[in-house]
Amino acid sequence: MQHSDKSIFAIGDIHGDNDALTRLLRRLPVRPETDQLVFMGDYINRGEDTRAVLETLIEVKKQYAHTVFLMGNHEHLLLEYASHPDVEILRTLRKMGIETTLASYDATVRELQGLSFMPESHRNFLHSLVLSYSCDPYLFVHADTEEADIAASMTASEISNPHRAVLVDKALSNRRLIREYVKDDPRQNITSKTEQENGEPASAGASNSGSSTICAFNASDTEGVTVTTPYKQERLVVFAHVSFEMPLVMPDRICVDTGSVYGNMLTALELPAMRFHHA
């Protein structure tokens, strides 16, 4: 099927916000038998309704013919702890809001091992998540990472590799954009509060530095409108993981995480129309 025959909708980090998820799904002009939904990972933690989110996503998989569910770093770490309990992993999970996930199941930390507190359908869903999805000219990944890191983590996931968890975590937790366009270039007016203590979405400003131009748009500007990139690139990477108050559009990359769980909006990007939808 050619891209002209279908649309792809990439949906940003949900983090237990089932209300925003259901509202967004109602607003998307998706043709269930033709169009594709790509969920970008981080469905769990922080928000209050992780259980409801997983139920909704499982139903979406049944109702829509073409769905892809990426793994986020939150799901990966939960699965790692469930298989290999470690106090350091648990400490990180607590910082990531695992208690809200457990509360949605009326469960306790003691039940994390083996995910015994979850229905089998939820466990199967988490184990079915994929690390990336390629549909030329698009590449969908949870975090803005190097394709080499994705390839290494995928290879490691297919064999018995003692470094698998490290490789996968690297691919799912990368903040390449922040390193390249903020720390190394003081002219860029972008900060990511996901690297700060409060964990709220960052604001984003536009700055012109040649091919590294970053364009950020207000929600009112992007709801149902078409956005064009400065030039046509060979491959467009769509990612999430680092939350901003507004969708972030760059010549070769687009971030669709707009911090729904922090009281902001949940965003979906429609391709190839380059149209944003919000809830």
Choose between 148 and 206: higher pLDDT.
148
Q: Could you give the CA distance from residue 30 to residue 26 in angstroms, rounded to a whole number?
A: 9
Provide the total of helices (H) and of strands (E) in the chain, helices listed first. 10, 11
Residues for the chain: how many in total?
A: 279
Q: Which pLDDT belongs to residue 144?
A: 87
Taking only the tens place, the pLDDT of each residue in 95-126 is 999 999 999 999 999 999 999 999 999 999 99
Choose between 153 and 111: higher pLDDT.
111
pTM to 2 decimal places: 0.78
Residue 40: closest CA among 267, 253, 271: 267
Q: Which pLDDT belongs to residue 175?
A: 58
* Domain of 56, in residue numbers: 3-278
Order of strands across the sheet that contains 215-216: 132-135, 138-141, 236-239, 253-255, 248-249, 215-216
- Cβ within 8 Å of residue 254, ≥6 positions away: 236, 237, 238, 239, 247, 248, 269
Q: How far is the CA of 266 from the CAs of 81, 100, 147, 244, 263, in angstroms?
A: 28, 19, 26, 11, 9
* Total domains, the chain: 1
CATH number at residue 79: 3.60.21.10
Q: Which pLDDT belongs to residue 165?
A: 67
